[in-house]
Amino acid sequence: MWKKTVNYQQAVWRCCVLLATAVLVAGCASTLSARVTSYQQWPADASGASYRIVPAPTQVNNLEFQAVSDMIRSSIGPTGLVEARAGVSPRFDVHIEYDSAMSRAWTQRYHDPYVRDGWGFGPAFGHYGGYGGWGGGVFMSSGTSSVPVDVYKNTLTVIIRDNQNNDAEVYRSSAVNMSSSDNLQEVMPYLAQAVFDGFPGNNGQVREVEYDRGR
């Protein structure tokens, strides 16, 4: 009878842990955050002016770049610019840089005898009190260890140059998102929105933005 009680308590705690973990993961996945850094000397007479997206030599005939360019076109509205027609010289040239650099980081994980999910919430019905018996108590495991994890730094930078002002750089904005998976194309629409968030903003402004996924 005692063993049945212990197993029941273990089962209940395991269910609670899995449910709490699922809710936490779902909450984290429902939004995306990015750090945006912007520099600008935006001309006052730019509203309604034309632009073109200029690929770097390595981006010519690159399907991935073309997809990213379409995302920039969808998000460039706050600038007040309109894309130039073919054969028309635009006032502004838009340059796009993006990357997903992977690095190795270390994180602390809790030891747990029942639920090895790294959160340290698992039930432990084990020895306590120094008597060698089994108890119905629950303890939160305090043991931790450092484990390596891959971290991806998703970065999008948009640079706008003014052809009427000696090709001067008038806007530069970078959006950075940290991720545990290689998902640059998944987060790119949000980064494209982030680089124009609050456009043109203050020169040298750094801010955090957050979006609901699926927008």
- Write the pLDDT tens digit of every residue in 167-204: 999 999 999 999 888 889 999 999 999 999 999 999 99
Give the chain's domain count.
1
Q: Which residues contact 7 (CB under 8 A, 6 or more apart)?
A: none
| Cα–Cα distance, 117 to 20 (Å, whole number) | 11
Cβ-contact 5, 186 below 8 angstroms: no
CATH number at residue 88: 3.30.160.670
Integer Rg of the chain from CA: 26
pLDDT in tens, 50-78: 999 999 999 999 999 999 999 999 999 99
Backbone conformation region of residue 14, classed left if phi is above 0, alpha if psi is from -120 to 50, else beta: alpha
- State which H helix or E strand residue 7 sits in: helix 2-29
Q: Which residues make beta-bridge pairs with 176?
A: 35, 155
What is the residue-averaged pLDDT of the chain?
Answer: 79
Domain that holds residue 9: 2-212
34-46 b/e with 16+ CB inside 10 Å = b?
Answer: bebbbbbeebeeb
* Overall average pLDDT of the 90-117 stretch: 76
| Cα–Cα distance, 173 to 154 (Å, whole number) | 14
DSSP at 85: P
Q: Which of the pair, 8 or 170, is modelled with greater confidence?
A: 170
In the three-class reduction of DSSP (H, G, I as helix; E, B as strand; rest coil), residue 205 is classed as: strand
* pTM assigned to the model: 0.69
Share of the chain above pLDDT 70, in %: 68
- State which H helix or E strand residue 86 sits in: none
